[in-house]
Chain A
Amino acid sequence: MNEFLFTQVLTELEDAVGRENCSVKEIDKVTHSVDYFWLSRMWADRGRRMPEADFVVSPLDAKETSKVVKIANYYKIPITVWGGGGGTQGGAIPVCGGILLDTKRMNKIYEVNEEGMYIECGAGAIYKHVEWAANERGYATMHYPSSLTCSTVGGFLAHRGIGVVSTKYGKIDDMVLQMEVVLPNGDIINTSSAPKHAAGPDLNQIFIGSEGTLGIITKAQMRIYVQPEVRKFRGFLFKDMSSAFKAGREILQKFKPSVMRLYDDAETASLIKKIVGVEKPGAFMNVAYEGVKEIVDVEEKILLETFARYGAEDLGSEYGEKWWKEKITFFYPGHMMDLPQLFGTMDTIAPYDKIEKIYHEMKKAVETNFPQAKFIAHFSHWYEWGCMIYDRFIIDGKDVPQDPVEAMRLHNAIWNLGVRTAIANGGVVNDHHGVGIKLGRLMKEQYGPAMQVFEGLKKSLDPNGILNPFKLGL
């Protein structure tokens, strides 16, 4: 873009959101160019600059967002939406430059509705702040991912996020009532006033997980819950993973714990040993159950009886309570994997008849083809019909190429192999981190001809292709 046209666009964006909310400063471009995606971090670590936006805008609400979208449509400039930047898939990186739309100015808590049991808030609100708003009235959001403190409501919705008490309370798509969305043509729409209806497909579910490619979520009504009277923990050690899956499946047919997390031998011997202190070999499983005390007491009895039949060693409540206290510690620098290591989380999900095979096949594929990689996994979100794998590969810094291009080649080769193995065995591209630019190429392999549904939506809603290009395989 020539200087004259650049300045023209800049003044129009300033007119839309206010001069102080439109930046072309280097510091703003740089800080919006690196998210939690390993490749972006590695690129910056090697002293390279990631692709940067030309303009960084922070609209106040849907109206200002609409104005920005209309400008972008007219000049055919890409828009990349940025919430907290805590995504692992590169979904928020402005790979084509253009406009970076940061949602965090849309952070207003509009209403804590105790009768309707929801909080209406701007999509740029940090979820922890929504939690605090709920806590001030004695409620809770029950959405507790490791990124609770750094990610936004819109970010969780756009990537279909999930928290640690999901088995009882659900995923983010279970927690939203209504959303306000700005379409790629600038129109502002509201989804239906309640999510469970027969008035056609659920509009919420079209935009949840769309990663900013079909519209920009600007406001949402998020559910709140009564705080449980009691929350109890129990740690177990299984001799093998098969017994643990069977025990988990059976318990889910009887009641819903809030937390269910099964760690494979490798992760039990590494992270769980380091943070929670479990020293014995085996597969550690932490279960939490909560709610009204009388019901919880009954659930505890059922849990202990059921797991005993599968040979689980009852470790008592101590490890589970320690895990709850330290549940976010895992993700701080010094505990979490970090550069110079090469690492990634290939989370996938499948029914119980496939999940164990997927785990073993992915582990075998990664460890056989990349012997320098360590493979660890846990299974952290469970349903009556199946569960997800949070499997991670880790390569020590000494085995990671310093050349950023070679490092990218290695990174992408592992991802291709791991995710293709998951898909071939009945898993899906991703469970709750999204697709972004990291996995976009694999979406067609996942969906085949079904991909035309997403492509049709994209073409119809965003004919100029301005919203978050090269993400989600669209």
Chain B
Amino acid sequence: MNISEKSKKIIDSCRFCWMCRHVCPIGNATGLERNTARARALGASLVVRGATELNEIADNVYECMLCGACTNNCMTGWDPKVFIYELRREIVYAGCAPEYIKALISKRIESGNVFGLPVPEKLTKAAKKNGKTLFFAGATAVYKAPECVLDALGLIEKAGEKCAFDPLLNSGADLWFLTGKTKETFDAASRCAQALSGYDQVVVYDPKDLAFLLHECREWGVEIKTSLVSFNEYLNNLIDSGKIKVNKSEKEYALQDSYAYARDLGDCESGRKIIDKVGVRKEMLLIGKEADAAGELIMREYMPAVIDAAARNRWTSAKNMNCFTLVTESPDEYVTLLATKPENFEVFTLEKIILNNMGE
């Protein structure tokens, strides 16, 4: 197994430490001992020492949302995600990936997306080439939350902005999730970077795509010659500049922090600023960087019951704090929270609550 010294060091630090067990959304959903950073590290450490085989831990390496809750919680600064990504790469290279992962990779190669779906017709029709700004929806939103993409495009149009939109663009973050840093991931990221570089500004809808483009691509030397802006920041700018007029209502909203926004991008405020402009903000107990992740749609392809259980746990947290309306800032969590929504509760995207509270 060819993993870095950095990963080996993290593995040997995490293999006997349970301190982040309580924040793992998967472990909390399954109650399984193996769904902890320490169990994955222990398994990997035994592979490194020749006491077990890589294929014996393969399933468990994929039972991770890579949400970074463990990383955020570690007082010493260890990052289990580092070795998880490397293990995924090694598992794929060794040909011992679980069949359900192989199937997703095959779909990605054949159709351009891990879901194996065609672009929804309404989004094909919405494609636009002209404009100095590109609205980059990302593969997860295009294939799994097309209505959200249409809402976002509609809002942009109402603001009088002219944005290009290409539903076929894929950052490569999906391959990063499934295979770590492989040649295929690098090539996908490079192709995306080249496509984005033709615009003055790119508004990135999915915070996971933005984090991947800003962090991994930069680290790998993939040059992106454009200005990348988060969708939340873009929306705040549209409102602050008066291009979108909103009315502040008395309706209470609680933000479901996207782990990519909060932990990877360090932004826990932009979503809250939007809520403050259109309604009354409520909060759950665990928010910002500490918020529990409520969904990951690639993982939902192969562990739907577990991902939905994680989303239901988040609804329980909302209920305990009398938060009846959740607002999401990522397509993954919008889809999973919508699918698991209890009766008398609501879930909206940020663009939707703006649309619902637009003034004249």
Contact = CB atoms under 8 A, between A and B. Distances in A.
Given A28-B34, A149-B21, A333 B13 contact: yes
A416 B28 CA distance: 39
B94 interface: no
B346 to A, nearest CB: 20
Interface stretch (A122-130, A231-239, A286-294, A377-385): A122-130
Contacts of A34: 16, 42
B237 interface: no
Contact of A334 (B13, B50, B60): B13
Nearest to B305: A20
Interface string B8-33: 00001111111111110000100111
A198 interface: no
A30 B21 contact: no
Contacts of B321: 136
Interface string A25-39: 111101110101000
Nearest to A60: B31
A45 B49 CA distance: 8
A47 B46 contact: yes
A443 interface: no
A196 to B, nearest CB: 31
Given A41-B16, A47-B51, A126-B21, A333 B285 contact: no
**Chain A contact residues, majority secondary structure:** loop
Contact of B39 (A27, A328, A338): A27
A58 B35 CA distance: 14
Interface stretch (A80-88, A156-164, A202-210, A398-406): A80-88
B51 A126 contact: no
A333 B320 CA distance: 34
Given A48-B51, A136-B320, A136-B321, A333 B46 contact: no
A304 interface: no
A84 B18 contact: yes
A26 B56 contact: yes
Interface residue range, chain B: 35 or more
B43 interface: yes
A133 B78 CA distance: 28
B126 to A, nearest CB: 42
A132 interface: yes
Contacts of B32: 28, 58, 102, 104
Per DSSP, are chain B's interface residues mostly helix, strand or loop, or mixed? loop
A188 B197 CA distance: 67
Given A44-B46, A58-B31, A132-B285, A149 B17 contact: no
Contacts of A331: 19
A329 to B, nearest CB: 5
Contact of A126 (B16, B22, B46): B22
A125 to B, nearest CB: 10
A102 B20 contact: no
Interface in B35-76: 36, 39, 42-43, 45-46, 49-52, 56-57, 59-60, 73-76
Given A34-B16, A47-B50, A86-B18, A329 B75 contact: yes
Contacts of B320: 133, 136
B31 A102 contact: yes
Contacts of A47: 46, 49-51
A61 to B, nearest CB: 12
A394 B332 CA distance: 48
Contact of B17 (A46, A104, A333): A333
Contact of B33 (A46, A85, A129, A135): A85
A150 B22 contact: yes
Nearest to A326: B75
Contacts of A102: 31-33
B286 interface: yes
Given A82-B33, A105-B31, A334-B78, 13 more contacts: A27-B43, A31-B42, A31-B43, A36-B16, A44-B15, A104-B31, A104-B32, A126-B21, A132-B285, A149-B20, A328-B19, A332-B19, A339-B12
25 contacts: A27-B57, A31-B34, A31-B36, A34-B16, A44-B15, A44-B51, A46-B49, A47-B46, A56-B33, A58-B31, A58-B32, A104-B31, A104-B32, A105-B31, A129-B22, A132-B285, A135-B285, A149-B19, A150-B19, A150-B21, A332-B17, A333-B76, A335-B76, A339-B12, A339-B16
